[in-house]
Amino acid sequence: MAKILKSKIFWFFSPVWLIPLVMFILWFFAPKIVWNVVIIDKSSSSKDGNEHISLFWLLNQKRLSKSGEIPYQVEKDYWGFFPKENEKFWIHGLEKLSSSQIGSLSKQANMAYFADTYGIYKQEWFARIQGQQSEFGMLYGGLSSQDLVFLRLMNEQKKLVVAEFNTIGSPTSSANRKQFEELYRMKWSGWTARFFDNLDTTINLEIPRWMIKNYQNTHAQKWNFKKAGIAFVHEQSGRVVILEDQQHLINPLPYVQSGELGQIKFGLPASIKYPFWFDIIEPDLNQNTIVSQFIIQSNAQGRYLLRKNGIPDVIPAVLMAKNGYAPFYYFSGDFCDNPVQMNTSYFKGIDAFQFLFFNDNDPMERKSFFWKFYRPLMNHILDEANQKLQKPIDQDALITE
């Protein structure tokens, strides 16, 4: 009995148990930094905030907060669509603000982050909540005129802006899209793409029905794919192009590759898989630099199909404005949407144990992308922006909800 008790006491005070405690203490007593970030998410369909949770994880981990004491909260500290109980919701976007309020917000903000503007559609929202069909149409979404006013003001003040996949995709109007493209010297090709680990519709129920219908309409043939592959969708024409493993692809998984700039400046891996949505943009390289790019590993037949449809096999993934321009980054993928747990952000140095949180052998998992790519990328962007901060923010003047 004495030996068992001694063993338990030894185990309780062993370094293994002390490590997480020390990590939490180091995080808890780390200095807090006031950092006012305006986060736009028009597609948050649950209180978990999956569309923007990765950014909130970093803000909390780095002790960046709205004030000296109040941390950012995933379920409330953003502008956009707020789900409530049953079919109820609340919309609180920049569209609610006057021109003078938008001007004040831009002066107070250190940074803007456009996580998603795709929005919420009636047929998806009410069917999910009520389990029944609803009328078609959009509840809320798209890059608005007020968003653009805010972006222009941020640009004029040379303040950091980060935007992601679908900021200017559907349902953003072509006029608003054009203004964004002119402001940041980039252009959306109209193509979006996603990897599917199985294109067999009898097995993979996540393949959208509209995608299958559009493919059959534009090609006048049945959807008869059985392996993994990449689907490319064109917004204006509705055209769907499928590259299937073995027939068109050497490796069906898209990879994000980073050269010397990405690896040295941002601490990114040379290559990492990316199994989610991304868009194809065409940057003006006089104003922007490509930090990372998607690589589609196609064979001769696949390259022919891509060229035939005007789709490149090397696609910008991370775009950065060059020195002299207002700080701006565009992520061509849904980079902020990763299934991470907020509770891991309360431990200093948790990235040393990142291997415990994902299975890199699973082609569809996205946690490894968060730990190996998104975290170091945004960590550097936030650190660099903090270093350039000239003066403290007037907290008394902040707009409150």
> Which region, left, alpha or beta, applies to residue 259 given φ > 0 means left and ψ of -120 to 50 means alpha?
beta
pLDDT at 243: 97
Mean pLDDT of all residues in 62-66? 92
pLDDT in tens, 294-323: 999 999 999 999 999 999 999 999 999 999
Q: Pairing state of beta strands 111-116 and 37-41?
A: parallel
pLDDT at 133: 57
pLDDT in tens, 266-297: 999 999 999 999 999 999 999 999 999 999 99
d(CA 38, CA 62): 17
Strand segments, DSSP code E, in 167-307 are 186-196, 229-234, 240-244, 249-258, 271-273, 278-283, 288-298
Residue in this structure with the two tokens 């993934």, named with its chain if needed: 317
Q: With bands split at pLDDT 50, 70 and 90, how would you rate the model's confidence at 14?
A: low
pLDDT at 48: 82
pLDDT in tens, 325-378: 999 999 999 999 998 999 999 999 999 999 888 888 888 899 999 999 999 999
Task: Give the closest residue to 42 by CA, choosing from 126, 125, 156.
Answer: 125
**Start-to-end Cα distance in the chain:** 60
Q: Mean pLDDT highest for which of 83-92, 123-132, 328-337?
A: 328-337
Q: What is the DSSP string of 141-181?
A: -S--HHHHHHHHHHHHTT-EEEEETTSSSTTS-HHHHHHHH
Q: With bands split at pLDDT 50, 70 and 90, how would you rate the model's confidence at 204?
A: very high
**What tokens were used for 220?**
């006048």
Question: Which helix (H) or strand (E) segment is 79 a member of?
Answer: strand 79-83
β-bridge partners, 297: 251
